[in-house]
C-alpha cells in the first residue's frame, strides 16, 4: 500500500511539473497528432538542438572513422603512378573477373528482388506472412559462410544431392533398362558463377524481406490494398501497378547494400565461386596478399574499381526505373480478367468490414517460401550431420556411423577468439550508438551508414594501412576496431527507429525536475529501450562473427576465428572439421538472438511490474 502511494505521488509530481513547464513556455495545448513536433521544437529551444553536434557525439567518429584518414595516403599515393595501372590493364585475368563479378552481383541482386516481390505479393497480409516474419530472424542469423558451406555439401560431386541421384538411378535401373542418371560435376566452382549467384540471391532475399516488412508496417499500405481489393482488382495488378511503384524507391538503399556485398564478397566466392578466373574481389584479395610490391599496388588500383562498378550498376538501375516509370505513367484503370467467375466488387478474402480473412496467401508464393525455407534448414541439417559423421561411403545417404571424434579433437581457440571479438565489439559499439542517438546530429546520420553500402575491400585496405602506420596490426584490439566499422552502423540502424519513437516528454520532464541529461538517459530513457537494445546487441554479435576480411587483414593472419577457419578448410580440408567450424559459426548468432529474446521478455516483465529504479533526491542536480 505504501509503495503504490509513493508511485502515485511520483506520478502526480511528474504530471504537475510537466504542466508547469508547458505553462511557463507558452504551450497551451498539445494534441496527440502534433505532440511530437511541438515537443521537439520545445527541446530544440530549451534543452538541445538536433541541428548541431554535441562534442560528446564526436566520440564515435573519433574512435571508428577518424583513424581511417591515416590509411588514405597509403592507398592513394601508389595509384598516382602509371606502373600499377598499366600492369593492371595488361593483367589477363582482369577483364574475365570483372565481367564475372558484374554478372554475379547484378544477377543475385535482381533475383533476390524478384524472390522478395513474389513472396511479399503472395503472402501479405495473410497468416503466412506473419509466420514468415516470425522465422526471419532465424534465416537472417544464418551466416553467409555457413550457408555457402552447406550448399557445397549439397551440390558437390560427392554431395548429398549427387548421392540421392545415384541411388535413384540404381534403383530405377533395376526396374527399367535405361542408362543410369549422371549428376553434373560442375555445380560448385562453375565457370559462370551461377551457383554463387543463386546462393547469394537466396541469402539476400531474407534481408530484403526484412526491409519490406519494415515498410509494410505503414497503415496506408494496408488501406490501399484493402480498398483496391474491395473495388475488384486482383492481387497481382494491385502490387504491380499500385504498391510496388511506391515501395521500390524506398528499397533503393537495401538494394545498394545487397549489390555492394555481392561485388566485394570474398569468403562465399572462395567456397562456391570459380577459380579460373576468380571473381574480381577474390582476384584483388590475391593481389593484396602477394609479396610482390607491384602485385599489391595492382590490388590497390583494382580495389578502386569496385566502387566504380557499384556506381555503374546503380546508374543502370536508375535508367531502368525511369523507363518503367514512363511505361506506367498513365495507368488505364482497367481491371484485369478475374478467374473463377468472381464479381468485380467483392472478394472472398475480405470480411464485411474490409479486413483480410485468415488465409495462407497464394499457393505459388507459399510454395516458394516453403522451398527457400526448406533449403535453408536442409543445408543446416547437412552441416550438423557432417559434424558427427564417421565413415560415410558414396553413395550412401546416411553415414555408416555417428561419432563425436571431430568435436573431441577440435581446437577451441578460434571459437573463444570469436566470442571475445564479438562481445568486445558490441560492448564498445553500444555506448557509442546510444551517445550518437542522444547527442548526434540527425542530418549527419546517413553518413554513418556508408560502410553498409560501400564495397568492403577498399575499406579493409584503408584499415590495414592505418594499423600498419600505428604498428598495431595483429592484435586483438586492432581486430575489434576493424569490426566496429560494420558493427556500429548495424546497431545504429536497429536502434534508430525505436529511439526516435520515444516520447520526448520523458526527457523534458526529467530536465524540468532538475536532473542532468545523462542522468535522465541512464535512469529513464535507455532502460525503456531494453528490448531494442538487446536486439541490437544480438545483431552486432552476428555481424562481428561473420567478418572475414577485417579479421584476416587487421589480425595479420595471426588471429583465427571460426569464420577464417571455415573458409580455410573449405579449400580442401577435412569435411568433418569444416562442418564443426560452420556449425559453431551458426551457433553463436542463434545463441545471441535466443539470449536477446529471453532478456527482452524479462525486460518487458520489469516494465509491466514497474520495477525500474526511480529518481532519488540525491540524483537531482540543482541548477
The domain locations on the chain are 56-78+195-327+409-502+517-617
pLDDT in tens, 583-616: 999 999 999 998 888 887 775 544 434 433 343 4
Phi then psi for residue 389, to 5 deg, are -80, 140
At residue 31, the pLDDT reads 37
Residue among 541, 568, 302 nearest 427 (CA): 541
CA-based end-to-end distance of the chain = 34
Residues 6+ apart with CB under 8 A from 432: 59, 60, 63, 64, 484, 488
Q: Report the SS3 class of residue 502.
A: coil
Predicted TM-score of the model (pTM): 0.83
Q: Which helix (H) or strand (E) covers residue 168, if one does?
A: helix 160-175
Cα gap 303→571, rounded to integer Å? 24
Residue among 600, 206, 134, 566 nearest 387 (CA): 566
pLDDT in tens, 274-318: 988 899 999 999 999 888 889 999 999 999 899 999 999 999 999
Q: In this structure, what C-alpha cell is assigned to residue 485?
A: 566499422
Residue among 501, 517, 497, 498 nearest 509 (CA): 517
% of residues, the chain, pLDDT over 70:
80
Residue among 586, 546, 552 nearest 568 (CA): 552
At residue 21, the pLDDT reads 54
Residue in the structure block whose three cell numbers are 542522444 = 438
Question: Are the C-beta atoms of residues 4 and 607 closer than 8 Å to each other?
Answer: no
Residue ranges of the chain with per-residue pLDDT less than 70: 1-53, 172-185, 219, 328-361, 603-623
Count Cβ atoms below 10 Å from residue 6 Cβ, excluding itself. Answer: 11
At residue 25, the pLDDT reads 43
Is the sign of the CA dihedral 183, 185, 189, 190 positive or negative? negative
At residue 202, the pLDDT reads 96
Peptide bond into 277 cis (omega under 30): yes
Count Cβ atoms below 10 Å from residue 507 Cβ, excluding itself. Answer: 21
At residue 5, the pLDDT reads 62
CA 588 to chain centre: 16
Cα gap 567→214, rounded to integer Å? 33
Cα gap 82→434, rounded to integer Å? 46
Residues composing the chain: 623
At residue 99, the pLDDT reads 94
At residue 613, the pLDDT reads 39
Cα gap 71→465, rounded to integer Å? 5
At residue 43, the pLDDT reads 40
Question: Are the C-beta atoms of residues 122 and 116 closer than 8 Å to each other?
Answer: no
Looking at residue 394, the DSSP 8-state letter turns out to be T
Phi then psi for residue 425, to 5 deg, are -60, -40
Q: Report the SS3 class of residue 402.
A: strand
At residue 378, the pLDDT reads 94
Phi then psi for residue 572, to 5 deg, are 145, 20
159 Rama class: left (phi>0) / alpha (psi -120 to 50) / beta: beta
Residue among 297, 274, 111, 289 nearest 208 (CA): 111
Amino acid at each position: 500500500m505504501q509503495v503504490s502511494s509513493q508511485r502515485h505521488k511520483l506520478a502526480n509530481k511528474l504530471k504537475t511539473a510537466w504542466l508547469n513547464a508547458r505553462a511557463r513556455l507558452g504551450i497551451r495545448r498539445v494534441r496527440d497528432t502534433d505532440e511530437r513536433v511541438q515537443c521537439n521544437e520545445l527541446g530544440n529551444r530549451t534543452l538541445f538542438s538536433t541541428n548541431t553536434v554535441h562534442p560528446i557525439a564526436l566520440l564515435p567518429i573519433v574512435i571508428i572513422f577518424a583513424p581511417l584518414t591515416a590509411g588514405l595516403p597509403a592507398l592513394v599515393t601508389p595509384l598516382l603512378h602509371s606502373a600499377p595501372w598499366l600492369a593492371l590493364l595488361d593483367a589477363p585475368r582482369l577483364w574475365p573477373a570483372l565481367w564475372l563479378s558484374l554478372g554475379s552481383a547484378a544477377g543475385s541482386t535482381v533475383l533476390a528482388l524478384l524472390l522478395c516481390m513474389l513472396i511479399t505479393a503472395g503472402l501479405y497480409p495473410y497468416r503466412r506472412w506473419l509466420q514468415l516474419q516470425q522465422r526471419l530472424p532465424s534465416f537472417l542469423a544464418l551466416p553467409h559462410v555457413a550457408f555457402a558451406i552447406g550448399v557445397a555439401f549439397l551440390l558437390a560431386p560427392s554431395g548429398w544431392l549427387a548421392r540421392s541421384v545415384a541411388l535413384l538411378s540404381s534403383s530405377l535401373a533395376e526396374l527399367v533398362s535405361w542408362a543410369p542418371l549422371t549428376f553434373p560435376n560442375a555445380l560448385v566452382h562453375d565457370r559462370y558463377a551461377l551457383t554463387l549467384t543463386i546462393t547469394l540471391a537466396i541469402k539476400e532475399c531474407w534481408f530484403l524481406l526484412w526491409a519490406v516488412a519494415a515498410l509494410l508496417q505503414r497503415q496506408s499500405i494496408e488501406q490501399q490494398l484493402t480498398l483496391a481489393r474491395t473495388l475488384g482488382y486482383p492481387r497481382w495488378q494491385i502490387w504491380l501497378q499500385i504498391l510496388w511503384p511506391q515501395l521500390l524507391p524506398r528499397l533503393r538503399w537495401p538494394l545498394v547494400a545487397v549489390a555492394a556485398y555481392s561485388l566485394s564478397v570474398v569468403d562465399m566466392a572462395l567456397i562456391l565461386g570459380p577459380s579460373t578466373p576468380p571473381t574480381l574481389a577474390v582476384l584483388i584479395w590475391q593481389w593484396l596478399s602477394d609479396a610482390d610490391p607491384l602485385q599489391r599496388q595492382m590490388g590497390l588500383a583494382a580495389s578502386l574499381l569496385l566502387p566504380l562498378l557499384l556506381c555503374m550498376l546503380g546508374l543502370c538501375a536508375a535508367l531502368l526505373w525511369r523507363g518503367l516509370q514512363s511505361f506506367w505513367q498513365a495507368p488505364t484503370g482497367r481491371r484485369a480478367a478475374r478467374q473463377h467467375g468472381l464479381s468485380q466488387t467483392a472478394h472472398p478474402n475480405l470480411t464485411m468490414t474490409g479486413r483480410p480473412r485468415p488465409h495462407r496467401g497464394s499457393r505459388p508464393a507459399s510454395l516458394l517460401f516453403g522451398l527457400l525455407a526448406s533449403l535453408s534448414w536442409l543445408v543446416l541439417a547437412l552441416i550438423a550431420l557432417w559434424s558427427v559423421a564417421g565413415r560415410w561411403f558414396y553413395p550412401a545417404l546416411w553415414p555408416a556411423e555417428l561419432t563425436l571424434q571431430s568435436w573431441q579433437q577440435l581446437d577451441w581457440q578460434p571459437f573463444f577468439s570469436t566470442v571475445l571479438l564479438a562481445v568486445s565489439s558490441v560492448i564498445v559499439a553500444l555506448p557509442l550508438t546510444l551517445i550518437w542517438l542522444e547527442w548526434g546530429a540527425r542530418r549527419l546520420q546517413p553518413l554513418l551508414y556508408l560502410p553498409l553500402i560501400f564495397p568492403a575491400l577498399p575499406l579493409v585496405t584503408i584499415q590495414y594501412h592505418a594499423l600498419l602506420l600505428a604498428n598495431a596490426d595483429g592484435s586483438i584490439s586492432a581486430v575489434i576496431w576493424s569490426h566496429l566499422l560494420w558493427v556500429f552502423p548495424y546497431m545504429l540502424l536497429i536502434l534508430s527507429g525505436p529511439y526516435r519513437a520515444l516520447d520526448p516528454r520523458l526527457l523534458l520532464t526529467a530536465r524540468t525536475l532538475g536532473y542532468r541529461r545523462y542522468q535522465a538517459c541512464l535512469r529513464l530513457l535507455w532502460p525503456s529501450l531494453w528490448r531494442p537494445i538487446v536486439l541490437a546487441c544480438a545483431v552486432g554479435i552476428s555481424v562481428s562473427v561473420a567478418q572475414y576480411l577485417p579479421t584476416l587483414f587487421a589480425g595479420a593472419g595471426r588471429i583465427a576465428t571460426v569464420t577464417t577457419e571455415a573458409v580455410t578448410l573449405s579449400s580442401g580440408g577435412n569435411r568433418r572439421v569444416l562442418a564443426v567450424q560452420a556449425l559453431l559459426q551458426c551457433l553463436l548468432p542463434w545463441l545471441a538472438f535466443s539470449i536477446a529474446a529471453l532478456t527482452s521478455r524479462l525486460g518487458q516483465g520489469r516494465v509491466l511490474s514497474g520495477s525500474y529504479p526511480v529518481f532519488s533526491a540525491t540524483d537531482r542536480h540543482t541548477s
